Structure 1
Amino acid sequence: MYIPKYFKVNNVDEIIDFVQKNSFGTIVTTELGKPIATHLPLQLIKEEDTYYITGHMSYGNPQWRTFDHDEDVLVMFQGPHAYISSSWYEKENVPTWNYQAVHIYGIPSILDEEELQQDLTMLLQKYENHRKNPVLWENLSLQTKKQLKGIVGFKIKVQEIQAANKLSQNRNEEDYYNIVNKLYEEKDINSQQMAQLMKRKFKQDK
C-alpha cells in the first residue's frame, strides 16, 4: 500500500487497537494468477512474540484451498472514510478522500478441529459475552456444533503490517477544523464518523 509520510502509522498498539475495532476484514489470495477475495470477521491474536490473524470460511468457498500454495496472503481492514471537498480549504487545492486502512501480509495455514473450536470460543466471547443471553460455545447444542464440518478454520502468521491514517494531517489547523465542521454537516454516516475521528485524533496529538 502506498503511504505518504504524513499518513503512515508506526505505533503497533494503535494498529492492533484499530484492527480489533474494525475486525471485519478482506482476505486476498490468487488462483492461477487471478485475485480472489472473501470478506470475513477476523481476530488478531498474539502467541508468545508472534501475531496471527484467525478466522473461518465456508467449506464450499474455494479460497481456502489457495492457502496450500500461497506463500503470502493479504488481509485488509478499513475504518471510516469520507470525501473531502477542496472548497473547505482556505486556499485553492484539489479535493481528496480521507480514510483509515491496515494491510497485513502473512503465511496461512489450516486449523485442526480443536484449534477451530478454540477460535470460535474466543470469537463468541468477543461478540456475545456482554449480551443479556449470550450465545457462547459451551452453551451450544451438539447438533449445532456438528456444523463445524461445514467450515474451515485458518490462521495467518503476520509477516508485515502497513497502516495508514489519512486524516488531513498535512493541512493547517484552520483548514483541519473547517474540514471537521463541514464533515459534521454532511448527511452520511461515514462523514460523521470521520469528523468524530479527526476531532479525537487532533486532541490526542496536542
Structure 2
Amino acid sequence: MRHTPTYVVTDPHEIRRLIREHPWATIVSPTSRGMVASHYPMMLEERDDQISLVSHFGRPDDELHELGQHEVLVIIQGPHGYISSSWYPEGDNIPTWNHATAHLYGTPEILSEEENFRVLSELVDHFEHHVEHPVSLSDDEAGARHTAKGTVGLRIVIDRFDARVKMSQNKKTDVRDRIVDELSSNGTYASPELAAEMTRATPSETE
C-alpha cells in the first residue's frame, strides 16, 4: 500500500478488531504459474503473542495456491466509501475514498482432517450464534464430515502486516463532523458503518 504515515496502523489489537468485524478475506498467492487469488472467511485464533488465522479452502483451490509452499497475502477490507468534496468548505475541491485495510503476510500450515473439521465446526458456530435458530455441523455430523472432505483447512500465523485506516484524520474537527453526518444520512454515499469507523480514528496531530 502507499506509504501514508498519517494513516498507518501498527497496533496488533486494532488489526485483530478489523479481522473480527470483517472476516471475509482475499488470499493472494505468488505461485509458480503466476498470481492466484481466492476469497474465504477467516477466523481469528486468540493468541496473545501472535495474529493467527484459521480457515479452509475448497478443493482444488489448495493446489492452485500451492498452499504451504510459500508466503501468502491476506487482505482484510474494512469499511470504505467515497467522501465527496461537496462536504468540505468552499475551495477544498479534492474528494477522496476513506478505508480501513490490512495486508497480512504468512505461510499457511495445512491442518489435519480432524483439526479442519474442528475449525469448520467452530466457524459455523461462530456465525450461527447470531441467528434465532442456530444450526451446527453436529446436527448431522456424518454428512458434515463427508462434505468437509472437499475442503482443506489451514492456519496462517502472521509474520508481518501493513495496515491503513484512512478516515479523514487530516481534516479539521468541524469538517470530519460534517463528513460523519453525511455518511450517517440517507444520501447516495451514506454508510453508517464508515461513519462509526471515522469516530474511532484518531485525528492527525498536525491538524
Short-chain TM bin = 0.7 to 0.9
**Paired residue for 2:179?**
179
Counterpart of 2:60? 60
**TM, length-normalised to structure 1:** 0.86
Distance 1:29 1:133 in 2: 37
The number of aligned residues is: 202
Q: Is this contact kept in 2: 1:37–1:63, CA < 8 A?
A: no
Amino acid at match of 1:107: T
Cα 1:3–1:140 shift into 2, 3 Å: farther
Shift of 1:175: 1.3
Structure 1, 56-65 or 141-150: larger mean CA deviation: 56-65
CA distance in 1, matches of 2:36, 2:144: 30
What is the rounded CA distance, in whole Å, between the counterparts of 1:146 and 1:190 in structure 2? 44
Shift of 1:162: 1.7
Q: How does 1:13-52 map to 2 (within 5 A)?
A: 13-32=13-32, 34-47=34-47, 49-52=49-52
Q: CA deviation at 1:179?
A: 1.6
Structure 1 residues 147 and 112: alpha-carbon distance in aligned structure 2, compared to 1, 3 A threshold: same
Amino acid at match of 2:54: T
Do the aligned partners of 1:102 and 1:164 also contact (CA within 8 Å) in 2?
yes
> When you count helix as a share of all residues, which structure comes out higher?
1
- Cα 1:192–1:69 change in 2 (3 A) is same
8 Å Cα contact 1:53-1:157 kept in structure 2: yes
AA partner of residue 77 (structure 1): I
Matching residue's letter, 1:163: A
TM-score of the aligned structures, taking structure 2 as reference length: 0.86
Query: Which range moved further: 4-13 or 44-53?
Result: 44-53
Q: Secondary structure at the match of 1:178?
A: helix
Q: Flag structure 1 segments of 5+ consecutive residues without an equivalent.
A: none
Report the CA distance shift for 1:113/1:47 in structure 2 as closer, same or farther (over 3 A): farther
- Report what 1:156 is aligned to: 156
Residue 37 of structure 1: CA displacement?
0.7
Residue 77 of structure 1 aligns to a residue whose secondary structure is strand
- CA contact 1:83–1:191 (8 Å) conserved in 2: no
Report deviation, 1:188: 4.7
Q: Percent identity?
A: 32
- Stretch of structure 1 that moved more, 41-50 or 118-127: 41-50
Match for residue 74 of structure 2? 75
CA contact (8 A) 1:129 1:136 kept: no
What is the Cα deviation at residue 107 of structure 1? 1.1
Q: Distance in 2 between matches of 1:160 and 1:25?
A: 16
Shift of 1:144: 2.8
Give the unaligned 5+ runs of structure 2: none
SS at 1:2 equivalent: coil
The equivalent of 1:87 in structure 2 is 86
CA distance in 2, matches of 1:167, 1:52: 26
How many angstroms does 1:200 deviate by? 4.9
Q: CA shift at 1:76, angstroms?
A: 0.5
SS at match of 1:134: coil
